[in-house]
Amino acid sequence: MMHVLVVDDDAGIRWVLARVLSEEGMEVVEAASMEEAEQAMAEQDFALTFLDVYLPDGNGMDAVAEGRFKAPVVLLTAETTFDHAAQAYRVGAMEYLPKPFDLDEVRSLARRIKPSPEETKKEVATDKDALIIGRSASMQQLFRTLGRVAASDLTVLITGESGTGKELVAHVLHQQSKRNNKPFVPINTAAIPAELLEAELFGHEKGAFTGADRARPGRFEQASQGTLFLDEIGDMPASLQVKLLRVLEEGVVQRVGGREDRPVNVRLLAATHQNLQSKIKQGTFREDLYYRLNVIPVHIPPLRERKDDIQQLAEAMLASAGEELEMQPPILLDESINLLKTYDWPGNVRELKNVMRRLALLTPGAAITLSDVALALGNRDNQTHQEETLSEAVSRCIRHYMDKLGYAEAVDMHKHLLDEVEPPLLMLVMERCKGNQIKAAQMLGLNRNTVRKLLRQYQIDPAYFRN
């Protein structure tokens, strides 16, 4: 009978894991702390360990990195970010399970007990702006795939709709790789005219074409020893596909106008929102190049297919916007979160990020209401408020505001309401007028000096709206 060690300070989690593993015919020993786990390991050997990251007397991730667990380790964590997943694999964990975990996955892990390969143990770089987070099953699977391939030099083809975060995934893959202290060079192949793209990629010699007054290395050479990210690879002209294939096969580039082969050592990451297999059938994308790029396929699901992640993403984006704007961000009410989840997000994570920045800046109160979200989404609202007039909306919001204030003592209601209403009105008008104070004064029907005074009073910078 195989023995399994379960280490977690939560008795409920230990009980669930013990029950499932026992059903699989395994002998389970429980420990509520690192000290208890070490005592158990001193007394017997285990075939597998389920280990919580945060324990009262130690960090499970550090313990695995230090080699204190001989058996394969499955790390249990409430953290659901790619960085955390990558670090789990880096330190040598066999697997990691986000809480709450799927019991079928626990059974699957128990059935495939085997030693994990030794991995390089190094500190993982973090990106404070990285929004590769999510509790959904599709994102957790994505984290596992990225965590396993990040340290390698394998070519990765990242697919997904526009706005899903393909470049962000590429950047984080570079951060987690052994090339992370070398250049990360991105290039959007769809944004550069076809006649200039070859020189951009492979470089050119002096006099190669009109205006080439000096030799210039291309992106492949610029990314030497680092990572080259080719975004929108599906738009690459057929003539360049042949040359890219040669670079991948032979590891050399030839500058435009030159004859010398220059060796290059880069890790290639590519991305596209297009269906490359369809383009192969249409004859617009080379099949041999596709197989060269598609060594490790990574697909990022659209936001509409992982709506369980919206709340976590939205709150992280609000916090990021608050730091950027140097302000305390408003909180999301449950009703607002529900409305965000009903929207299909055609612009995906990029669109959600823009909406959250807008809400962080323009929300008048401390909380983001249903009406705030509806306005930010272009007046989309639920059926209850779909036909609501401005007067009705104002009445409802004032009633809600009065209920929050309570009636314990007298308040200057008129001043309170002006302080709440004037700033968002000014910001919306400034946004509409792109920071032009004369136009804003005309729209508001106020004197220009009065508008300037109000902007100073509420610390609203017109320059922000000119960008």
Give the CATH number for residue 25.
3.40.50.2300
105, 124, 143: which is the final residue of a domain?
124
Give the whole-angstrom CA distance, residue 362 versus residue 357: 9
Over residues 66-77, the mean pLDDT reads 87
pLDDT in tens, 2-17: 889 999 998 878 878 8
pLDDT in tens, 345-368: 999 999 999 999 889 888 877 788
Whole-Å CA distances, 206 to 195, 202, 302, 358: 17, 14, 45, 47
Look at residue 132 and tell me if it is in a domain. Answer: no
Look at residue 130 and tell me if it is in a domain. Answer: no
Do 329 and 437 share a domain, yes or no?
Answer: yes
Task: Point out the least confidently predicted range of 170-174, 306-310, 380-384.
Answer: 380-384
Q: Count structural domains, the chain.
A: 3
Q: What percent of the chain has pLDDT over 70?
A: 89
What pLDDT is stored for residue 216 in this prediction? 87
Is pLDDT above 90 for 186? yes
pLDDT in tens, 265-278: 999 999 999 999 99
- Domain holding 442, by residue range, is 306-466
User: What value does the mean pLDDT of the chain take?
Assistant: 84
What pLDDT is stored for residue 264 in this prediction? 92
Over residues 268-291, the mean pLDDT reads 94
Q: What is the CATH number of the domain that holds 284?
A: 3.40.50.300
What pLDDT is stored for residue 399 in this prediction? 67
Q: pLDDT class for 450, splitting at 50, 70, 90?
A: very high
Look at residue 179 and tell me if it is in a domain. Answer: yes
87, 104, 124: which is the final residue of a domain?
124
Q: pLDDT class for 121, splitting at 50, 70, 90?
A: very low
Do 411 and 312 share a domain, yes or no?
Answer: yes
- Residue 350 vs residue 143, higher pLDDT: 350
Look at residue 142 and tell me if it is in a domain. Answer: no
Do 204 and 353 share a domain, yes or no?
Answer: no
According to DSSP, the residues that pair with 229 across neighbouring strands are 186, 269
Whole-Å CA distances, 75 to 65, 101, 108: 12, 11, 15
- Provide the sign of the torsion angle of the four alpha carbons 431, 437, 443, 449, taken in this order: positive
Do 196 and 269 share a domain, yes or no?
Answer: yes
104, 124, 144: which is the final residue of a domain?
124
Is pLDDT above 80 for 184? yes
pLDDT in tens, 31-62: 999 999 999 999 998 889 999 999 999 999 99
Do 173 and 113 share a domain, yes or no?
Answer: no
Look at residue 49 and tell me if it is in a domain. Answer: yes
Q: List alpha helices for 9-153, DSSP H.
A: 11-23, 34-43, 60-65, 82-90, 103-111, 137-149
Is pLDDT above 70 for 410? no
Over residues 164-174, the mean pLDDT reads 91
Q: What is the CATH number of the domain that holds 323?
A: 1.10.10.60
Look at residue 15 and tell me if it is in a domain. Answer: yes
Do 245 and 264 share a domain, yes or no?
Answer: yes
What pLDDT is stored for residue 131 in this prediction? 60
What pLDDT is stored for residue 334 in this prediction? 84
Look at residue 418 and tell me if it is in a domain. Answer: yes
What pLDDT is stored for residue 392 in this prediction? 67
What pLDDT is stored for residue 156 in this prediction? 95
Q: What is the CB neighbour count within 10 angstroms for residue 337?
A: 15
Do 273 and 317 share a domain, yes or no?
Answer: no
What pLDDT is stored for residue 250 in this prediction? 92
Look at residue 321 and tell me if it is in a domain. Answer: yes
According to DSSP, the residues that pair with 55 across neighbouring strands are 58
Residue 407 burial (10 A CB sphere; 0-12, 13-18, 19+) = exposed
Phi (first) and psi of residue 58, to 5 degrees? 165, 170
Task: Point out the least confidently predicted range of 3-12, 17-26, 181-190, 400-409.
Answer: 400-409
Do 361 and 450 share a domain, yes or no?
Answer: yes
Over residues 382-403, the mean pLDDT reads 61
Do 269 and 397 share a domain, yes or no?
Answer: no
Do 334 and 259 share a domain, yes or no?
Answer: no
Do 273 and 230 share a domain, yes or no?
Answer: yes
What pLDDT is stored for residue 211 in this prediction? 76
Task: Point out the least confidently predicted range of 73-82, 125-134, 212-221, 259-268.
Answer: 125-134
Give the whole-angstrom CA distance, residue 74 versus residue 92: 10
Do 166 and 293 share a domain, yes or no?
Answer: yes
Q: pLDDT class for 112, splitting at 50, 70, 90?
A: low
Q: pLDDT class for 441, splitting at 50, 70, 90?
A: very high
What pLDDT is stored for residue 37 in this prediction? 92
